[in-house]
Amino acid sequence: MRKFLKWLGISVTAAVLLVGGYYAYSIYHFTNQISVASGQDSKFKPQTQTPSNVQPVDVSLPPEWDGTERVNILLLGGDSRGEDSGRSDSVMVASVDPVTKKATLMSILRDTYVKIPGHGQSRLNAAFSYGGPDLTRQTVSDLLGIPIQYYVYTDFNGFIALVDSVGGIDLDVEKDMHYTSKADKHQFDIDLKKGMQHMDGKTALQYVRFRHDATSDFTRTERQRKFITELGSKIQSTSSLIKLPSILNSISPYIETNLSTTEMLQLASLGFNIDAKTVAKQQIPPNELVRGETIKGAQVLGVDERKLKRFIQNLFEQENKPVTTTVEAAATTNDTP
């Protein structure tokens, strides 16, 4: 019996080490595959020529993050169709305070009229075609008045692979959604019915892309924030953690980031300490700061950048305020001087 228990202990220990080693190797291999900081070549090159009278801007080096201050990550979804990867279909910023373990997810309206370093003024999504994720990161950083240290990019295929790899998402679709396009040979047609349903990757892509209603990109970005929150909760689940190596393997061909391996592990650890359901969600610019404008015959969204920067700072300050419970509030009210 002693020998049996001894060998059983050795076998269990060996199995744990093998499984742990497999997980560690999967994570290390994944981070090295997707990171330009690890020596991988970026898949992005400027697709629009810089005007001859404009000096190109070097935005390759992001500000450093020391692990204790708020970290801001640009999340880019690419509208990839065939060999065309020059459009940013969605632009978000995930902002995390590592001290308070609170996070905010901001969707930035892609028609916002902004200053693009080295290229004058244009819609936000033009920054991606001029200079890929790095120029978009710098443009958004200037717009919001905050340092954006990192970016993570994926395309339609990466989004579909991620949703499928976690087993899909259960979501309540708020209304019927229908859209067809001959230009895309109906590859990205949308046909969703109102009500609760289980979404695979292709169905989920339809949901987050739909914008053919009265409020267009405003409600589309709201749906995207809603979906990302549900997806975050699913990724944090035990079932997804068990499948982590296969999840990483399925999405690695479609992701690019400037995070190093060490930074990814550091942020992953931080992320799992944050309940996805508590993440604050915000449209940028907020409705009260948006104004419709026509510039050179094109409809764009104007915003006072000074007011927007002040709004962002207030947003972070409100996020970090302690929550007062009903009991605490009553005690405060009943206190006598």
Residues 126-130, mean pLDDT to the nearest whole number: 89
Nearest residue to 119 via CA among 133, 108, 109, 129 = 129
For residues 229 and 217, the answer to whether their CB atoms sit within 8 Å is no
Q: Is 114 helix (H, G, I), strand (E, B) or coil?
A: strand
Question: Domain 64-331 falls in which CATH fold?
Answer: Aminopeptidase (3.40.630)
More confident residue, 138 or 274: 138
Report DSSP state, residue 81.
B
In which band, very low, low, confident or very high, does the pLDDT at 21 lie, cut at 50, 70 and 90?
Answer: low
Instruction: Give DSSP secondary structure letters for 187-208.
Output: TT-EEE-SEEEEE-HHHHHHHH
More confident residue, 9 or 301: 301
Report the C-alpha gap between 107 and 221 in whole angstroms: 6
Q: Model's pTM, two decimal places?
A: 0.81
Q: What is the pLDDT of residue 195?
A: 95
Q: What is the pLDDT of residue 112?
A: 95
Q: Is 107 helix (H, G, I), strand (E, B) or coil?
A: strand
For residues 152 and 84, the answer to whether their CB atoms sit within 8 Å is no
Alpha carbon of 109 to those of 46, 143, 224, 273, 333: distances in Å?
A: 22, 12, 12, 29, 42
Report the C-alpha gap between 102 and 274 in whole angstroms: 7
Residue that the structure tokens 């970090």 belong to: 320
Each domain of the chain, given as residue ranges in start order, spans: 64-331
Residues 228-233, mean pLDDT to the nearest whole number: 88
In which band, very low, low, confident or very high, does the pLDDT at 331 lie, cut at 50, 70 and 90?
Answer: very low
The DSSP bridge partners found for residue 171 are 197
What lies within 8 Å, CB to CB, of 63 at 6+ separation is 147, 148, 149
Retrieve residue 195's tokens. Answer: 């009500």
For residues 308 and 290, the answer to whether their CB atoms sit within 8 Å is no
pLDDT in tens, 179-191: 887 766 777 789 9
Report the C-alpha gap between 129 and 136 in whole angstroms: 9
Residue that the structure tokens 């409020």 belong to: 215
Alpha carbon of 170 to those of 91, 204, 315: distances in Å?
A: 24, 10, 30
b/e per residue 211-249 (b: at least 16 CB within 10 A): beeeeebbbbbebbbbbbbbbbebbbeeebeeeebebbe
Retrieve residue 173's tokens. Answer: 């679709």
pLDDT in tens, 22-70: 556 577 777 888 888 767 778 776 544 444 444 444 444 556 666 678 9
